[in-house]
Structure 1
Amino acid sequence: MTEQGVRWTAEQVLSLAPDAASRTAGGKLGTAGPWSEAGSGEGTVWGLCKGSGSRPYQTVVDLADPAGPAYKCSCPSRKFPCKHALGLLLLWAGGDGPVPASAEPPEWAEQWLAGRRRRTEAKQASGDGGSGGGSADPEAARRRAERRAERVTAGATELEQRLADLLRGGLAAAEQAGYGLWDETAARMVDAQAPGLAARVRELGAIPASGAGWPGRLLEECALLHLLDQGWLRRAQLSDALAATVRSRLGLPAAADGAPVRDRWLVLAQYDTVDAKLTTRRIWLHGAASGHTRLLLSYGAAGRAPELHLSVGLALDAELSAYPGSGQSRSALGERFAPPAPAAFRPPGTSTAEAAARYGAALRDDPWLESVPVTLDRVIPVPDGDLWQLADADTDSALPLTRAARSRPGLWRLVALSGGAPLKVFGECGHRGFTPLTAWPEGPGDPVPLC
């Protein structure tokens, strides 16, 4: 409820869940049975949920904050949102019956809301008054940047030697060495403060065990690493934009210095990738007026969901500022002018042939680019032997689905949604194929997340 009378869909509510268990538990509480004194008004939903104890849990959700939903529940869960908040939002999404609109919140809900407003106002007042810490020393910052550049240069030079040794001795040595060789090399790149190089080096260790044709794939990745090394070592000869791209691929910090672009940004997709230390959330947005497709990144420590959450199908009135680099999609989220609200518009689409051409053109600006965001119009998921592809309904072209896409439950959701009919599909198109992330039926209907 971010616009008068507009409620979220059940899919948008469940996308808030921090994990699969919460999603399942919240779904079971999305019925009227356990709830009493539920109501909604002015971007707030509240209710009492019967639990195992004698007193019901007091649950309230603030949906009107431009920074995103906030939750309060008297249950002992440490998850945000907890299953009671999810169940309450599912109940509210079902209509006015169990959660009537325009009601006055009870005292316990109003107290929490008032406290949130006071804290927000105090934070804004503190920000307007400025920081008392003083500005950073620019000379010290310059010296730190120079020292880091020297370490990165030493790491890139060492990596060049190791790649040369590998090719001189033959690729078969990589299969015999296993992961140990690459783990030790990656650790050296971490010491050199080049996390982007370290991540790429670690990926090399898995290639010899990836099946038939691995020597070719290993050689391709080594070539891209060599190109990145040379880009850094010869960065003085590059254009400013390409040098910024090299810095970003190495993992060096940069500020989003692009001019802020205010637009109504449609949330196209949101998905997380998890490793041992970090959860990375990727959120794709499309500007209704600008036509730009932009990527937001949010991070959380291992085992914790990132703070930023935007449900697919919502639109956000906000400013985005681009990060430096040639053809970079990543942006930083700036000022928000209204809470996210459901949107009826869809992104414009293109053909499968144009999608492949768009990726090829993007490689000129960023040779290390894995994929580009693309919305396909009128495509049909069809089997291709043991594989799957998206066939263009109006031409003879098609795009194969990536291995990651074929292993996700979203593939069968996509097939079921299509039923042999054309769809509009948003996803990432790269050299490994197309990964569908969200789909829309050809006629009226809500977007269906596939990841």
Structure 2
Amino acid sequence: MGERWSAEQVAALAPDASSAAAGRTLGSPSTWSGLGACTGTAEHPAAVWGLCRGSGKNPYQTVVDVSGPAYRCSCPSRKFPCKHALGLLLLWSAGSVPDADGPADFAAEWLRGRVERAAKAQEPVDRAAGPVDAEAAARRAERREDRVRGGLVELGRWLEDQVRGGLAGAERAGYAPFEQAAARLVDAQAPGLAAWVRALPGVVASGPGWPARLLEEYALMHLLVRAHENLDALPAPLAATVRRRVGYPVSRESVLAGPAVRDRWTVLGLRDDADDRLVSRRVWLRGSRTGQDALVLSFAGPGAVLDASLVPGTSVEADVHLYPDAAPLRA
């Protein structure tokens, strides 16, 4: 079956404190029947399952794909993982789930479906969509670069105006000048720089010594503008860093086409951040042999569930593809 997770690792999966507490309550063998766990095969992933007695006539059918992890439960909860999945995993972590040759019938169908869907996801894109128009793509990229170039020229002038007018003016002006400059950068398709400019009022409001910190931010932005002007002359890794800070998109396909770092990756920790429209998750990894650090970013819109496959404290042997950068980190 492989290495069991610790109770702390299971608790880290809980979507909130109330779910964690309810999961601990259900982590008792007396509420379960039909428990089992099996290793992964070509037909199904490694999994743990069980039937949890509830208030209704029929027990809840709970299955966890521990290689994902992914969860399925017949309960009506909209939380992932639900309290039943957490309780089941706590039983498994305590060694209270017996090993089995294969999954129970109620678990097998869902597990096989996951294998089939994963296989289909690896298939090439339907050729009926037609070949990519390389010339059209090149023209679009050229138009974007022209817009970005113009936006950065305008940003350079704006930075000069801010310094020439004196830093004290930033405190009096409030958010409006920064928001206007950021909006122009969005129009120029430079979202990375736009987000940076939008964060500058926070520097102004950061307390004593803010003028020096604001001047440092202006200097770094000016350096980025000048680096972009000489993008073609920069070493490829440094050019990739400049493009990333400006906000050029990098396709997942191009990253996966690059070399992979094979290692045993330990999940060091994770952090979730939320705004009105998006929830992001940052997961930090470290390779035990290479010492390489990696940051895995995932995003979810309203009502969607974040990827929970990387559990703090666990480790996995895997290939990691890093985004191009002078100091590669994002995976």
Same fold (TM over 0.5): yes
Paired position in structure 2 for 1:421: none
Instruction: Report the TM-score, using the length of structure 1 for normalisation.
Output: 0.66
Cα separation, 1, equivalents of 2:262 and 2:242: 28
2:261 partner letter: V
Q: More helix by proportion, 1 or 2?
A: 2
The answer to whether residue 49 in structure 2 is matched with residue 52 in structure 1 is: no
The answer to whether residue 118 in structure 2 is matched with residue 115 in structure 1 is: no
Cα separation, 1, equivalents of 2:118 and 2:239: 40
SS at match of 1:206: helix
Paired position in structure 2 for 1:157: 153
The answer to whether residue 221 in structure 2 is matched with residue 218 in structure 1 is: no
Paired position in structure 2 for 1:169: 165
Q: What displacement does 1:104 show?
A: 5.5
Paired position in structure 1 for 2:223: 227
Instruction: Report the TM-score, using the length of structure 2 for normalisation.
Output: 0.88
Cα separation, 1, equivalents of 2:197 and 2:23: 41
CA displacement, residues 114-162 of structure 1 (integer Å, 9 cap, x when unaligned): 33344444555xx169644233111111111111111111211221222
Q: More deviation in 136-145 or 251-260? A: 251-260
Map 1:289-368 → 2, pairs under 5 A: 289-302=289-302, 304-307=304-307, 309-331=309-331
1:141 partner letter: A
Q: What displacement does 1:318 show?
A: 1.5
Paired position in structure 1 for 2:138: 142
Paired position in structure 2 for 1:94: 94
Alpha carbons 2:263, 2:288 under 8 Å: kept:
yes
1:13 partner letter: V
Paired position in structure 2 for 1:79: 79
Q: More deviation in 177-186 or 221-230? A: 177-186
Paired position in structure 1 for 2:25: 28
Cα separation, 2, equivalents of 1:164 and 1:195: 21
Alpha carbons 1:179, 1:206 under 8 Å: kept:
no
Alpha carbons 2:274, 2:280 under 8 Å: kept:
yes
SS at match of 1:285: strand
Residue 189 to residue 122, structure 1, CA distance change in 2 (3 Å):
closer
Cα separation, 1, equivalents of 2:184 and 2:16: 35
Cα separation, 1, equivalents of 2:233 and 2:288: 38
Cα separation, 1, equivalents of 2:173 and 2:309: 42
CA displacement, residues 171-202 of structure 1 (integer Å, 9 cap, x when unaligned): 12111122222222212211111111011101
Q: What displacement does 1:70 show?
A: 1.9
The answer to whether residue 6 in structure 2 is matched with residue 9 in structure 1 is: yes
Cα separation, 1, equivalents of 2:166 and 2:178: 15
CA displacement, residues 284-334 of structure 1 (integer Å, 9 cap, x when unaligned): 222233332222222222564432531122222221222222122223xxx
Q: What displacement does 1:24 show?
A: 3.5
Q: 2:177 aligns with which of 178, 181, 188?
A: 181
SS at match of 1:327: coil
Alpha carbons 1:185, 1:201 under 8 Å: kept:
yes
Residue 27 to residue 158, structure 1, CA distance change in 2 (3 Å):
farther
CA displacement, residues 97-117 of structure 1 (integer Å, 9 cap, x when unaligned): xx2222654322223223334
Residue 200 to residue 119, structure 1, CA distance change in 2 (3 Å):
closer
CA displacement, residues 218-266 of structure 1 (integer Å, 9 cap, x when unaligned): 1111111111122112323322221111001112112325312222222
Unaligned runs of 5+ in 2: 40-45
Unaligned runs of 5+ in 1: 332-451
Cα separation, 2, equivalents of 1:327 and 1:316: 23
Map 1:397-412 → 2, pairs under 5 A: none
Alpha carbons 1:73, 1:84 under 8 Å: kept:
yes
The percent identity for this pair of structures is 52
SS at match of 1:252: coil
CA displacement, residues 68-94 of structure 1 (integer Å, 9 cap, x when unaligned): 112111111222222211121112111
Q: What displacement does 1:22 show?
A: 3.0
CA displacement, residues 417-438 of structure 1 (integer Å, 9 cap, x when unaligned): xxxxxxxxxxxxxxxxxxxxxx
Residue 189 to residue 22, structure 1, CA distance change in 2 (3 Å):
farther
Aligned pairs, how many?
Answer: 321
2:90 partner letter: L
Residue 278 to residue 110, structure 1, CA distance change in 2 (3 Å):
same
Alpha carbons 2:280, 2:297 under 8 Å: kept:
yes
Residue 158 to residue 25, structure 1, CA distance change in 2 (3 Å):
farther
Q: More strand by proportion, 1 or 2?
A: 1
